[in-house]
A and B are shown apart, each in its own frame.
Chain A
Amino acid sequence: MNLFSAMELSASGLNAQRTATHVISMNLANIQTTWTEEGGPYVRKQAILSPSPVSSKFSGILANRMNPELMGVKAEIRVDDTRNHEMVFDPTHPHADESGYVTLPNINLLEEMVALLSAVRSYEANVTAFNSAKSMVLKSLEIGK
């Protein structure tokens, strides 16, 4: 049924936005991490959203073949953030370099909080679309009662 694939589209949106909030939480948790296993300070990660066909289920594949222009969304985590790291002078810090500077992660707290809010709002929009599809399905069950 058409409306069930609409639910799958909304679900892909929910999934992508949830991934985005996970990435932001990870950035916030690591805002002071000056050393990682790969060496160097923690580098900010980003969830990049791109359109993608939904679901591996038969109905999803069929709906996708019938109108390929309708896409769900997927999130991938990327680390290609090239902004500069802040350097703080702290010679007693174990991760300080020869001149006594510690490199901090390139995370801006305010920016992350705004991105978090935006992701939550998008998540809510997808929940509304999902509930709307659900109420339509339930209503159409009443036909012929």
Chain B
Amino acid sequence: MDGRLIFSKLFDRTIAVLEQSLDIRTPRHRVLSSNIANSETPNYEAKDIPFQKILEGSMNQYSLLNLKRTHTKHFPEGVITDMMVETVPGGVNIDQEMAKLAENNLRFQAEVQALLKKIEALKFTISETR
């Protein structure tokens, strides 16, 4: 089998998608922490990162810098999520922010778990066929 084909079979899109997703989770946590820290600040506007929109964009090979890719199997360049902070109209709703924070945290844990399982499966395959 062609070496390149083995590589693309081993590291399919699962890992790439999970990586992208985790890349958005971390800055989103930052944004939510900032909202919670400023929950009592007068005239402070809540912010958020539109997770769904960015992930969909990166999965549709949408890229911010529009770098040329010479091969269809190349991954798109990393999404610069920090630039995509949106202002949510109205002040900080602490319940909503805490809910978002919990959701973001749990999904982060779940995604890391999925990544671990993926790597575990790869390791298993490598060691069993030796």
Contacts and interface: CB of A to CB of B under 8 A. Distances in A.
Interface of A: 1-3, 5-7, 9-10, 12-13, 16-17, 20, 49-51, 63, 66-67, 69-73, 118-119, 122, 125-126, 128-130, 132-133, 135-136, 139-140, 142-145
B39 interface: yes
Contact of A49 (B42, B47, B104): B42
B101 A132 contact: yes
The B interface is mostly helix, strand or loop, or mixed, namely: helix
Given A125-B98, A144-B119, A69 B30 contact: no
Contacts of B29: 2-3, 6, 129, 132-133, 136
Interface residues of B, number: 35
The A interface is mostly helix, strand or loop, or mixed, namely: helix
Interface stretch (B5-13, B57-65, B71-79, B109-117): B109-117
A72 B85 contact: no
Output the residue of B29, B104, B108, B116 with the most chain A CB within 10 A.
Answer: B29
Interface in B94-130: 94, 97-98, 101-102, 104-105, 108-109, 112, 115-116, 119
B41 A49 contact: yes
A2 B36 CA distance: 17
B31 interface: yes
Nearest to A119: B40
